[in-house]
Amino acid sequence: METEKKYKLSGQVHVKAMELALSLCEPGSSLLEIAERTENFIRKQGAIPAFPVNISINEVAAHYSPIIDDTSEIPDHSIVKIDLGVAVDGFITDAARMKIFDSKFEKLKTSAEHALFAALKKINDKVNVYEVGAVVEKTIRKEGFKPITNLSGHSLGQYSLHDGLSIPNYGKNKKLWKPKDVFHKNNAYAIEPFSTTGKGIVIDDDLETIFIHYSQLRNTPSPQAREVFVYIKKHFYGLPFSPRWLVEKFSKKQIEQALEELTEQHVLHGYSVLKEITNKPVAQAEDTIFLKENGKKVILTRKKVSNS
Ligand SMILES: [Co+2]
> Which residue out of 192, 208, 261, 287 is catalytically annotated?
192
The arithmetic mean of pLDDT across residues 146-175, rounded, is: 95
Q: What is the DSSP letter of 73?
A: B
CA 108 → CA 6, 32, 73, distances in Å?
Answer: 34, 26, 22
213 is catalytic: no
Residue 56's pLDDT band, with cuts at 50, 70 and 90, is very high
238: left (phi over 0), alpha (psi -120 to 50) or beta: left
Kindly tell me if the per-residue pLDDT of 306 is higher than 60.
Answer: no
293 is catalytic: no
The count of C-alpha atoms lying within 13 angstroms of the C-alpha of 281, restricted to the half-sphere facing its C-beta, is 22
Length of the chain: 308
**Tens digits of per-residue pLDDT, 200-220?**
999 999 999 999 998 888 888
Q: Is the dihedral of CA 164, 3, 54, 167 positive or negative?
A: positive
Q: Which phi and psi angles does 87 have, rounded to 5°?
A: -125, 130
> Which residue out of 70, 208, 261, 286 is catalytically annotated?
286
Which tops the pLDDT comparison, 303 or 65? 65
Alpha carbon 151 to chain centroid, angstroms = 11
Q: What is the DSSP letter of 286?
A: B
> Which residue out of 4, 19, 89, 162 is catalytically annotated?
162
Alpha carbon 228 to chain centroid, angstroms = 25
SS3 content of the chain, % helix, strand, coil (to 5): 35, 30, 35
**Tens digits of per-residue pLDDT, 156-169?**
999 999 999 999 99
What percentage of the chain exceeds 90 in pLDDT? 93
Query: Quick one: pLDDT at residue 60?
Result: 98
40-62 residues labelled b (16+ CB within 10 A) or e (exposed): ebbeebebbbbbbbbbbbbbbbb
CB within 8 Å of 202: residues ≥ 6 apart: 61, 62, 148, 150, 151, 194, 274, 275, 276, 277, 282
287 is catalytic: no
As a whole number, the mean pLDDT across the chain is 96
Query: Quick one: pLDDT at residue 217?
Result: 84
The alpha carbon of 22 and the centre of ligand 1 are apart by a number of angstroms equal to 15
The alpha carbon of 218 and the centre of ligand 1 are apart by a number of angstroms equal to 31
154 is catalytic: yes
The alpha carbon of 56 and the centre of ligand 1 are apart by a number of angstroms equal to 11
Alpha carbon 238 to chain centroid, angstroms = 15
Find out if CATH 3.90.1150.10 is the number for domain 3-204+273-299: no
266 is catalytic: no
DSSP state string for 155-219: EEBTTBSS-S-EE-SS---GGG--TT-B--TTEEEEE--EEESS-S-EEEEEEEEEEEE-S---S
State the pTM of this model: 0.95
Per the CB < 8 A criterion, the answer to whether 209 and 269 are in contact is no
Domain with CATH 1.10.10.10 in the chain: 206-272
> Which residue out of 83, 181, 208, 276 is catalytically annotated?
83
Domain with CATH 3.90.230.10 in the chain: 3-204+273-299
Kindly tell me if the per-residue pLDDT of 63 is higher than 90.
Answer: yes
The alpha carbon of 231 and the centre of ligand 1 are apart by a number of angstroms equal to 25
Query: Quick one: pLDDT at residue 1?
Result: 60
Per the CB < 8 A criterion, the answer to whether 108 and 198 are in contact is no
Locate the DSSP E strands across 66-178: 79-88, 91-100, 146-147, 153-156, 166-167
Residue 97's pLDDT band, with cuts at 50, 70 and 90, is very high
Find out if CATH 3.40.50.300 is the number for domain 206-272: no
